[in-house]
A and B are shown apart, each in its own frame.
Chain A
Amino acid sequence: MITFEEVSKVFPDGTRAVENLNFELPTGKITVFVGPSGCGKTTSLRMINRMVEPSGGRILIDGKDVTQQDAALLRRSIGYVIQHAGLFPHRTVIENVMTVPSLVGTDKKKSRATAMELLLRVGLTESMADKYPVQLSGGQEQRVGVARALAADPPVMLMDEPFSAVDPIVRSGLQAEFLRLQGELGKTIAFVTHDIDEAIKIGDMVAVFQEGGHLAQYATPQELLENPADSFVADFVGRDRGFRSLSFDSAENLVIDPVESVASGSDVLVLDDAGRPLGWVGPGIASEDRPAPVAGTFTSADSLRVVTDLAITSPVGIAVRVDSSGTADGIIRHQSLVRQLDERRRLRSGANA
């Protein structure tokens, strides 16, 4: 657990970067610091490993004040990943990964073996071990950066916009793999980004920073989308937050109508012999010989966002649920879904009141 207690930072030129920061980063979770540029998020991150010293207050890691510890030793126990990776250009990939183990004097053979394992773990191959950073793509550099931060198996990791410098497709791949890796490792991670979508995708907890280094809100991603603390957070989170917040609930608890109930209307759901949906037929939709495609189905493991999207895009305003074998086992109409979402919202705001 990392605790910020009344932490503030004023730079020598008088800039107030961080003001009176109080919050806790839970152990084994990803806490994202997000906010516009100049809001003190990076400064706050860098105070954890003393790259920046606080002007007031304390930062505790598992109850121990960081400023009471030797800075270099403290930093060796905290993984650090930055934008553009900051790899050492004069060292090979494997030597880069072995940086901290060699600083603390781990046996070379052993640290090499660990480093090799880590390379595979972050999705690189053994053949990359002896390349130099200049020979890597941006995404590969970032993976090496993550492997280097993990090499000494630190309980805490600091990540400063680690995926901002790579293109969007590579970024979403890196994010997914990062979450998978975190699922295996369970590190306590502080993660800085200016991208609210990244914050919501990655974070277990999200700290929204405001200009002047104030903490505008500290909450789970879902809470942030559903109940922004003020208009600043609401604006920052974005317009379609209501829709995005639906990604956090599964379709498991939806009340579903039986497939046969479609027959009561004028539209018909055409199924194949195995009961898999083929398409829609109905007046103004499609003729019987050429049914309109279903355009997608959901399972009870999908999120409400998927169901809502299907109901909106379906030619007849009905989303079709299938079981694991692809057989249609239920439907939900647009109107029913809206009613259920409304009930869910009432319930939730009732719980908050």
Chain B
Amino acid sequence: MIDYISSNTTVIWRAFSEHVLLALIPVALAIIFSLPLGYLAVRYSKLYYPLVNLSSILYAIPSLALFLLIPAIIGTSVISPLNIIIALTIYSVALMVRVVADGLNSVDPSVTQAATAMGYRRVRRLFGVELPIALPVMLAGLRVATVANVSIVSVGALLGVGGLGALFVRGQQLDYAEPVIVGIVLSVMLAAFCDIVIVLVQRRLTPWTRVGGRA
């Protein structure tokens, strides 16, 4: 095992860093897209079910099918990493739109009303009151999306771009367990690391969720 790792450091490192980018760029894009979409679903309640249902349908498409569908639609090469990024962004947005909308809906209406009555304008109320209160729900969704992405990226290896998934494919082709084990361990560690980071961020940003109940 040590031999394998020491003689393949470059390959493993490249697979790992590719995995990180393929998994996390979609998460960042999903945050950017899902916040306004989730907000629209709450602001215009007629949009809630269309958006949430569309998200569920998109989320139900098998990943391999989506990886193949995207180049057919937008004309990229089948082995372009862009396909993976777009597909995972779609999954993450699909998951996060619902989470953002439900998070915003979870804010007690008497709190938003009080904010308005205090003299908050809409935008400031959104950023100062509603989003912070929705954070615990949204970050819980973000954890799921991030961990799911880290695991789905590997599927892309079947098409030639899949980060650590490439190690699985190689191990299987060579009937050789070491790359598979390294791939699995790194993938799990990456998922766990991302999860812990989000939890730490949540603890930092939402201290009120950790205090005890009524005195």
Contacts and interface: CB of A to CB of B under 8 A. Distances in A.
Contact of B114 (A73, A86, A104): A86
B65 interface: no
A175 B97 CA distance: 45
B211 A131 contact: yes
Nearest to B116: A51
A132 B211 contact: yes
Contacts of B115: 88
A83 B84 CA distance: 51
Contact of A99 (B108, B118, B133, B215): B118
Contact of B108 (A51, A76, A86, A103): A86
B214 A80 contact: no
B208 interface: yes
A76 B118 contact: yes
Contact of B211 (A84, A87, A135): A135
B118 A103 contact: yes
A90 interface: yes
A49 B211 contact: no
A10 to B, nearest CB: 21
A88 B111 contact: yes
Q: Size band of the A side of the interface?
A: 20 to 34
B117 A72 contact: no
Nearest to A103: B119
A100 interface: yes
Contacts of B133: 88-90
Nearest to A102: B128
Contacts of B132: 90
B204 interface: no
A136 B118 contact: no
Contact of B117 (A75, A88, A90, A91): A75
Interface in B131-148: 132-133, 135
A25 interface: no
A137 interface: yes
B119 A72 contact: yes
A51 to B, nearest CB: 6
Contacts of B108: 86, 89
Nearest to A140: B215
Contacts of B110: 82-84, 86
Given A51-B113, A82-B110, A90-B133, A135 B119 contact: no
A49 B135 CA distance: 30
Contacts of A86: 108, 110-111, 113-114
B113 A82 contact: yes
A136 B214 contact: yes
A134 interface: yes
Contact of B129 (A72, A74, A88, A136): A88
Most buried by A among B117, B211, B214: B117
A90 B118 contact: no
B111 A75 contact: no
Contacts of B113: 51, 82, 86
B33 interface: no
B174 to A, nearest CB: 54
B211 A103 contact: no
B205 to A, nearest CB: 9
B133 to A, nearest CB: 5
Contacts of A103: 118-120, 124
B62 interface: no
Nearest to A137: B214
A98 to B, nearest CB: 11
A261 B110 CA distance: 63
B215 to A, nearest CB: 5
Interface in B183-207: 206-207
Most buried by A among B108, B115, B119: B119
Contacts of B75: none
Contact of A75 (B116, B135, B212): B116
Nearest to A128: B215
Given A86-B108, A86-B111, A88-B115, A72 B120 contact: yes
Interface in A73-115: 73-76, 80, 82-91, 99-100, 103-104
A133 B121 CA distance: 23
Interface of A: 49, 51, 72-76, 80, 82-91, 99-100, 103-104, 131-137, 148, 158
Given A72-B121, A86-B111, A135-B213, 19 more contacts: A51-B117, A74-B119, A75-B116, A80-B117, A82-B114, A83-B110, A85-B114, A86-B108, A86-B113, A86-B114, A88-B111, A89-B111, A89-B208, A131-B215, A132-B207, A132-B211, A134-B208, A136-B215, A158-B117
20 contacts: A74-B119, A75-B116, A75-B117, A75-B119, A80-B117, A82-B110, A82-B114, A84-B110, A86-B108, A86-B110, A87-B114, A88-B115, A89-B111, A103-B124, A104-B119, A132-B207, A133-B208, A134-B213, A135-B212, A135-B213
